[in-house]
Amino acid sequence: MGNPTGFLNINRNLPEDRDPVLRVGDWKEVHTEMAVSDIQSQASRCMDCGVPFCMAAESAQGPGIAGCPVNNLIPEWNDLVYRGLWKDALARLLKTNNFPEFTGRVCPAPCESSCVLGINAPPVSIKHHEVSIIDRGFEMGWVTPNIPEERTGKTVAVIGSGPAGLACAAQLNSAGHTVTVYERADRPGGLLMYGIPNMKLEKHVVERRIKLMEDEGITFVCNTTIGKDIAADKLKEDFDTVVICTGATVPRDLPVEGRELKGVNFAMEFLGANTKSLMDSELEDGNYISANKKHVVVIGGGDTGTDCVGTSLRHGCEHVQQLEIMPQPTNSRTAGNPWPQYARVLKVDYGQEEAIAIQGDDPRSYLVTTKKFVGDEDGNVKELHTCQIEWQKQDDGRMTPVDVPGSEKVIKADLVLLAMGFLGPEGGVLDQLGVEKDPRSNAQAEYGKYATNVDGVFAAGDARRGQSLIVWAINEGRGAAQAVDAYLMGKSYLPR
């Protein structure tokens, strides 16, 4: 801890975001850069606490509740950044996180919710230090392929190239195993590539990492659906182990009257096609669902919904609004959500900030349910019929939404995007391999062990835990790699 009074003398500061009205004119990331000296000064706010809650994803309330899920050595690299020892900071960072360039951009930063300084002052800007370290590492040429000196002769097939599959592949390759990653999309990256839009994570950042992994010796086979183009059993025969990292891609539907109308789409149909068209042709090929000049209604108030808002505004929509069935979060922590837990408070994310700047008000409405969609004579959606709800406690303790009489509303809509979360992984690969599922239809494999009921088959990431976060996918990919290494070699020296 180089500066013992930094937390007293220096206020939290972050790089400014680009003007929302201007940035919707392009697909570049929303943040600007900050002077190196300012980043170093910010890093000196870290108190190097005796118990750094920021770096432990465990707390008195139980595992996974607080802090960084990959246990980043946050106080150590904060101090190294403050002292200008960037290369050492990078080495510490890469010990625990394979892809800080992703988490440093899009992680919701549970670490900052658990920062001890955050109890009575704005927390240390940990996430920004993380991305600054790795971006500087790439800029200076310090991030180079980590090629194993010896190969073990063991082979591993990873199904799915999202952050879980990538982390697993990187770790297993570093242990000398020969890893092939199968991906059904035309480009690797999972939701890093075809889920999270460019303004949150520019795709050259994902491609740079994939290229590095190829240089390390990992093979990527794209345009190949396991279970269809190659039978999952065949993979099991051909490789020593198989790791299922197929994500939780089954979206929650809204089976109300009019769901079949044209213009009612799942969010991922909208977001995925948009990124592909952008990358293939700068949207020239027209192979995407356009929100241009449309009244857009996004159903779902989470991250995916926000990404739909930001994308619709970039298409030049007439108007966008976002409907959420849950109540509006409070502005500060409630008694049931104490420090060091992740703070569930009202946030204005980039998409809402842009809508406020352009339309004049926050696009979100809370406690709203959709009763039906109504279409025109050509079968295109033209309106939503909604009503307000109240959450009422039933005799058995369950909370149930109850309609508020007289609150019915009709909303004009030419495009409706369903962003209500995901139910779990698709069945194909799991069924072909005979992998048991848990009650939520995820692959059944104990956290920390990752082994399924089928010998030599492991599961990690959203396919195992349900839709979650990139940082948890990395945590699971690393953990599964350790389990696979131990399975193949009898013991493992890989870190989690």
Give residues in contact with ligand SF4 (CB under 6 A).
68, 70, 72, 74, 103, 107, 109-111, 126-127, 130, 471
Determine contact, residues 397/414, Cβ cutoff 8 Å: no
Query: How far is Cα 163 from Cα 248, in angstroms, rounded to an integer?
Result: 13
Phi, psi of 411 (to 5 degrees): -115, 130
Binding partner of 247, given ligand FAD, ligand SF4, none, CB within 5-8 angstroms per partner class: ligand FAD
Phi, psi of 394 (to 5 degrees): -90, 170
- Judged by CB, which is closer to ligand SF4: 78, or 161? 78
Determine contact, residues 457/435, Cβ cutoff 8 Å: yes
Binding positions for ligand FAD, rule: CB under 6 A? 106-107, 159-165, 182-185, 190-191, 195-196, 200, 225-227, 245-247, 249, 271, 303-304, 307, 428-429, 461-463, 467-471, 473
- Judged by CB, which is closer to ligand FAD: 314, or 382? 314
Binding partner of 70, given ligand FAD, ligand SF4, none, CB within 5-8 angstroms per partner class: ligand SF4
Binding partner of 182, given ligand SF4, ligand FAD, none, CB within 5-8 angstroms per partner class: ligand FAD
Task: In angstroms, give the least distance from the CB of 286 to ligand SF4.
Answer: 37
The three-state secondary structure class of 384 is strand
- Judged by CB, which is closer to ligand FAD: 127, or 319? 127
- Judged by CB, which is closer to ligand SF4: 220, or 472? 472
Binding partner of 116, given ligand SF4, ligand FAD, none, CB within 5-8 angstroms per partner class: none
- Judged by CB, which is closer to ligand FAD: 413, or 460? 460
- Judged by CB, which is closer to ligand FAD: 101, or 303? 303
Determine contact, residues 40/81, Cβ cutoff 8 Å: yes
Output the six-digit token pair for 277: 């068209």
**Nearest CA among 251, 291, 258, 271 for reference residue 410:** 258
Task: In angstroms, give the least distance from the CB of 459 to ligand SF4.
Answer: 22
Binding partner of 210, given ligand FAD, ligand SF4, none, CB within 5-8 angstroms per partner class: none
Could you give the C-alpha distances from 62 to 59, 110, 226, 340, 380, in angstroms and in order? 5, 15, 36, 11, 49
- Which 3-state string (H, E, C) describes 199-251? CCCCHHHHHHHHHHHHHHCCEEECCCCECCCECHHHHHHHCCEEEECCCCCEE
- Judged by CB, which is closer to ligand FAD: 389, or 471? 471
Task: In angstroms, give the least distance from the CB of 69 to ligand FAD.
Answer: 10
Task: In angstroms, give the least distance from the CB of 361 to ligand SF4.
Answer: 30
Task: In angstroms, give the least distance from the CB of 107 to ligand SF4.
Answer: 3
Binding partner of 156, given ligand SF4, ligand FAD, none, CB within 5-8 angstroms per partner class: none
**Nearest CA among 210, 224, 162, 164 for reference residue 189:** 162
Query: How far is Cα 472 from Cα 478, in angstroms, rounded to an integer?
Result: 10
Residue 326: partners with Cβ closer than 8 Å, 6 or more residues away: 301, 366, 367
